[in-house]
Amino acid sequence: MNFTDLNLPSEILQALKEQGYETPTPIQEKAIPPALQGRDVLGCAQTGTGKTCAFAVPILIRLDREHRENHPIRALVLTPTRELAIQNQDCFVAYGAHLPLRSTVIFGGVGQGPQVEALEKGTDILVATPGRLADLYQQGYIDLSALEIFVLDEADRMLDMGFIHDVKKILKWLPEKKQTLFFSATMPKEVRSLVDGLLHDPVRIAVDPVNSTVDAIDQTLYRTDKSKKIRLLTWLLEQRDYPSVLVFTRTKHGANRVARDLERAGISAAAIHGNKSQTARQAALADFKAGRLRVLVATDIAARGLDIEALSCVVNYNLPDVPETYVHRIGRTGRAGLDGVAISFCDVSELEELAAIEKQLGRPIPEVSQHPYPMEEMEAPVTDKKGRRINPEDAEAREAAREQSKKRRESREKAPAAPAQAAQAKAE
């Protein structure tokens, strides 16, 4: 199938051509025709499938059929993260390049002034994260009474990230009569109940999740020790010429440390996570996309919705706790027909996670056993509640010391009674 088979107007075809798109992806092929007819759509699809174009194109076409001089908000796209919001907005700008429609994006973490100014000028399409939308609506800057089309993007992540309350609040502000396009990678119970309340006789579309493309990704496993991971990563990046590498760490601290150590080793890297300012995150992402930065180090939350084309390699510096996350992470490479490479490190404390991932994949991850930093620690280190390593001997010594001081305290507490009794006995 070709985009021309979808009967799209020439302005859209031209814009898609400029983006280098030749054929529609499965979700676009299935969702664009019913969405153009005004049907509600329930799309079970994740980032990477081309879902943004699948909803943005019908929105642009439908809104373009009738022009409104004062540009009231006629389409609203709710999306869980700022990065995803910005990327959605970029798509509306790109696909709508030859149409006279306006789109605006609003998200938290930055001053509201410029966003309010943009809203006051009028916008046909508003892309928003829930918190900022609710905030500006309650301040009276947003009028949703002319809304015709509503998109809920990545509904399951909205739940994961705790936005469900905001989303439900926002739903009450939308006109009853509207077209709804609903996308979620997974359909947990809470998402299904949202669907039931929101969609009317929807066209249900499920496209292959990233799982099915996982086979096309060159996956390898390196068993190593926690303390050697940074050297292993540096060594690998020096050996191979992957131009754009996304490294996943478990924690924000870990992300900072890895980025810092890579930089020290002369490999350009930046960490991207929620503690960084929005400007810093956007700058790092822009540098990475432009090829000025070779490595981006991220936590799962920060990496959500990052639309990075042409990612050559994903590194699991830490294995994720949830096996599906492994599949999501590595699905970021090998997109759009590119060959993907996924490298995973596993230390002795991550063997359980590895087993769960391999069970999910249905086969073991091919292992590279010949490398300079092999696993030597064969017992998982003892850690405290915060995950800090404890030397078992130190722990025993501390326990013994605690016991001793407890005994001393107890005997001290008993001790004062003796002289008092003695004194009383003497008095008698």
**Cβ closest to ligand AMP, residue 49 vs residue 349:** 49
Q: How far is the CB of 208 from ligand AMP (least distance, A)?
A: 12
Q: Which range binds ligand AMP by CB under 6 A, 43-51, 339-347, 389-397, 413-421?
A: 43-51
Q: Where are the beta strands (DSSP E) in 6-45?
A: 41-44
Query: Judged by CB under 6 A, does residue 81 bind ligand AMP?
Result: no
Query: Judged by CB under 6 A, does residue 148 bind ligand AMP?
Result: no
Query: Judged by CB under 6 A, does residue 89 bind ligand AMP?
Result: no
Q: Which range binds ligand AMP by CB under 6 A, 4-12, 24-32, 147-155, 206-214?
A: 24-32
User: Which of 35, 43, 44, 49 touches ligand AMP by CB under 6 A?
Assistant: 49
What is the amino acid identity at position 292?
R
Query: Judged by CB under 6 A, does residue 80 bind ligand AMP?
Result: no
**Cβ closest to ligand AMP, residue 273 vs residue 332:** 332
Query: Judged by CB under 6 A, does residue 43 bind ligand AMP?
Result: no
**Residue 9 burial (10 A CB sphere; 0-12, 13-18, 19+):** middle
According to CB under 6 A, which residues from 301 to 360 bind ligand AMP?
307, 309, 336
How distant is the alpha carbon of residue 93 from its chain centre? 22
Q: How far is the CB of 107 from ligand AMP (least distance, A)?
A: 17
**Cβ closest to ligand AMP, residue 52 vs residue 344:** 52
- The first and second tokens of residue 218, run together, are 């060159």
**Cβ closest to ligand AMP, residue 286 vs residue 422:** 286
> For residue 7, is it left (φ>0), alpha (ψ between -120 and 50) or beta?
left
Q: Which range binds ligand AMP by CB under 6 A, 44-52, 71-79, 196-204, 268-276?
A: 44-52
Cα torsion for 211, 90, 315, 323, to the nearest 10°? -30
Segment (H or E) for 62:
helix 51-64
> To which residue do tokens 């502000």 refer?
173
User: Which of 35, 53, 330, 341 touches ligand AMP by CB under 6 A?
Assistant: 53
Alpha-carbon distance of 82 to 85, in angstroms, equals: 5
Q: Which range binds ligand AMP by CB under 6 A, 18-26, 142-150, 292-300, 412-420?
A: 18-26
Each residue 282-311 as x (binds ligand AMP by CB under 6 A) or -, in order, gives -------------------------x-x--
Alpha-carbon distance of 247 to 366, in angstroms, equals: 19
Please, which contacts does 368-372 make with residues 24 or more away whose CB atoms are closer than 8 Å? Answer: 368/220, 368/221, 368/222, 369/223, 371/222, 371/224, 371/232, 371/235, 372/231, 372/232, 372/235
Query: Judged by CB under 6 A, does residue 51 bind ligand AMP?
Result: yes
For the chain, how long is the longest CA-to-CA vector? 113
**Cβ closest to ligand AMP, residue 6 vs residue 221:** 6
User: Which of 12, 15, 21, 248 touches ligand AMP by CB under 6 A?
Assistant: 21
Query: Judged by CB under 6 A, does residue 25 bind ligand AMP?
Result: yes
- The first and second tokens of residue 131, run together, are 């918190």
Query: Judged by CB under 6 A, does residue 47 bind ligand AMP?
Result: yes
- The first and second tokens of residue 229, run together, are 């991971």
> For residue 347, is it left (φ>0), alpha (ψ between -120 and 50) or beta?
beta
How distant is the alpha carbon of residue 310 from its chain centre? 17
Query: Judged by CB under 6 A, does residue 52 bind ligand AMP?
Result: yes
Q: Which range binds ligand AMP by CB under 6 A, 49-57, 97-105, 148-156, 236-244?
A: 49-57
3-state DSSP call for residue 420?
Answer: helix
Phi and psi angles of residue 163, each rounded to the nearest 5 degrees, phi first: -95, 5
Q: How far is the CB of 47 from ligand AMP (least distance, A)?
A: 4
Alpha-carbon distance of 226 to 379, in angstroms, equals: 12
The site for ligand AMP, by CB under 6 A, has a size of 14
CB atoms within 10 A of CB 163: 22
Q: How far is the CB of 197 from ligand AMP (least distance, A)?
A: 25
Alpha-carbon distance of 227 to 240, in angstroms, equals: 22
Q: How far is the CB of 85 from ligand AMP (least distance, A)?
A: 12
- Taking CA atoms, 324 is separated from 174, 208, 254, 331, 347, in Å, by 34, 14, 21, 10, 19
Chain residues that interact with ligand AMP, rule: CB under 6 A: 21, 24-25, 28, 47-53, 307, 309, 336
